[in-house]
Amino acid sequence: MKSTDEILEELGWNAFFHEQVSDEEAQPCHPVRVMAVHRGKIAVTGAGVTHLITPYIPGALSSDNHPTVGDWLLVDDASLQPIRVLQRMNLFKRSAPGDPRKEQMIAANVDTLFLVASCNQDFSVARLERYLVLAREAGFVRS
């Protein structure tokens, strides 16, 4: 049977995230990774747990970062209430459709990025360029 650390490492947990959790937080909380974001719920997975939980963090302002796919959260052991989003290694985001002043988060903490495009009638150089810009903004493409 795998240990908690081995399970978390398979999900992408590393020293960068571990160092963000104090001993005081580690007692009543445990880390989970956001696997999917739905309306009003997020799917999270951790060591021996898979749940649909609320994405709302008590006390968070509307300007605060809210959970997105790939994020690591600290979740209260008893209530499964998210406590906070851990700092991200990187973040893919874009302007929200219909309102360029807002941003739409796509994914966080990505280790490897592949851009794949079909070469059929739907091929678009402009679309591929937009994806490359997103990759550069997230730190995957260096000049």
Q: Is residue 142 part of a domain?
A: no
| Residue 30 contacts residue 74 (beta carbons within 8 Å) | yes
Q: Is residue 143 part of a domain?
A: no
Residues with Cβ within 8 Å of 46's Cβ and at least 6 positions away in sequence, in order, are 7, 8, 11, 30, 31, 32, 33, 75
Domain total of the chain: 2
* Domain that includes residue 103, residue range: 91-137
Indicate the pTM of the whole model: 0.86
Clarify whether residues 132 and 116 are in a common domain: yes
Answer with the one of 46, 62, 85 that is the final residue of a domain: 85
pLDDT class for 86, splitting at 50, 70, 90?
A: very high
pLDDT in tens, 111-131: 888 888 889 999 999 999 988
Clarify whether residues 33 and 19 are in a common domain: yes
Clarify whether residues 11 and 39 are in a common domain: yes
Q: Where are the alpha helices (DSSP H) in 11-124?
A: 15-18, 23-26
